[in-house]
Copies of this chain bind each other. A is one copy, B any other.
Amino acid sequence: MASDGIVERTLGELARLVGGELQGDSELRVSGVAGLEEAQINQLSFVVGPKYLPQAHASAAGALIVPPKLRDIDKPLIITDNPYLAFAKILSFFTPKPRPPLGVSKKAHIGAEVKLGDSVSIQPNVYVGDSTVLGDRVSLHGGVYIGSEVYIGHDTTLYPNVTILDRCIIGDRVTIHSGTVVGSDGFGFAQDGNSYFKIPQVGIVQIDDDVEIGANCTIDRATMGKTWIQRGVKIDNLVQIAHNVVVGEDGIIVAQVGISGSTKVGKNVILAGQVGVTGHLEIGDNVRVGAQSGIAKSIPPGQTVSGSPAISHRDWLKNCQILSRLPELRKKILNLEKRLAAIEEATDS
């Protein structure tokens, strides 16, 4: 650590951290990372491709992370196939997220027969229900509510005012941001004349390891069985996941998406912002869906679709162009009608 309290590392250490090739002074001291324009002489920056070469040359950064084809830049370099990933890892290394103080606040409520792991942090105004299990190094920020018989794995962080309801299961290294609700009742009612009778929602939500969920999302418990968010899924803010939905591994669900009941989303799917998906569908692996699309049919693996109702992204792009010229097309048709009528009249006579 430097004398002013800023952490410093050598370029060599950082190259090793990200598995990159070092070119230049391995003892160069680096105190952080920043964008090309903001970086200072004691900071590291990154260049993802040749497009950014002018900014790279103009940058004050003391060293750069670059892909192999940019190894000729005249600065100390860390060379790696994925400079953005290396940047993320080094930024993460320099700026660890602070944990709340260890221990259990006296202003928290801890129910009966709760099992607490080692080194947990439980802030004031937290509620932990009976028979709940918390893994090691779990952090519960102020206002978090955890119901009864909940299981939470190691190294999981729940930000302020998160609600986890009874019997849900949360894995290791899961992060859930403020205001999100996990385990609210699914929206299920049986018609009874003009009115509706509630179908009890007796299933759970299971969230696997390494999932991150944004703020103010809602993930409903299953009617029976489980709503299931699989390993590595990343969910943005204000997303709605209905009962019995499955989101496959490493999916990306952008803000304000809604997925209706019992739909199964495959692995490595990307749903862009404000997409809506109706219920009981199968979305195949590696599907990508454009922003604001409406999905009303199952989609085979690997497709990219857009629009509402969604069609192939390529066709949708064509349609968008034609749509912007619809008035013109209509004029063409009216014009054709006139000309044709004239010919018909001439031929008749």
What residues of chain A have their CB less than 8 Å away from a CB belonging to chain B?
A: 34-35, 38, 82, 84-85, 87-89, 91-92, 95, 97-98, 105, 107, 109, 123-125, 127, 141-143, 145, 147, 159-161, 163, 165-166, 175, 177-181, 184-185, 187, 189-192, 194-200, 202, 210, 212, 214-218, 220, 224, 232, 234, 236-238, 240, 242, 249-250, 252, 254-256, 258, 260, 267-268, 273-274, 276, 278, 291-292, 294, 296, 308-309, 311, 315, 318-320, 322-324, 326-327, 329-330, 332-333, 336-337, 339-340, 343-344, 346-347
Chain B neighbourhood of A311, CB < 8 A = 324
Nearest CB in chain B: distance from A175 CB, A: 8
Q: Name the distance in Å between A240's Cβ and chain B's nearest Cβ.
A: 4
A238 — which chain B residues lie within 8 A by C-beta? 216, 218, 238, 240, 258
State whether A192 touches B123 (Cβ < 8 A). Answer: no
Question: Cα distance A232–B107 when bound, in Å?
Answer: 37
Task: List 27 A–B pairs whose Cβ atoms lie within 8 Å, in order of A's numbering.
Answer: A84-B191, A87-B199, A88-B189, A92-B198, A92-B200, A109-B124, A123-B127, A125-B127, A159-B184, A161-B161, A175-B198, A178-B181, A179-B180, A179-B216, A179-B218, A185-B214, A187-B214, A195-B232, A214-B220, A216-B218, A242-B255, A255-B260, A276-B292, A291-B294, A329-B333, A339-B340, A343-B343
Residues of chain B within 8 A (CB-CB) of A180 are: 179
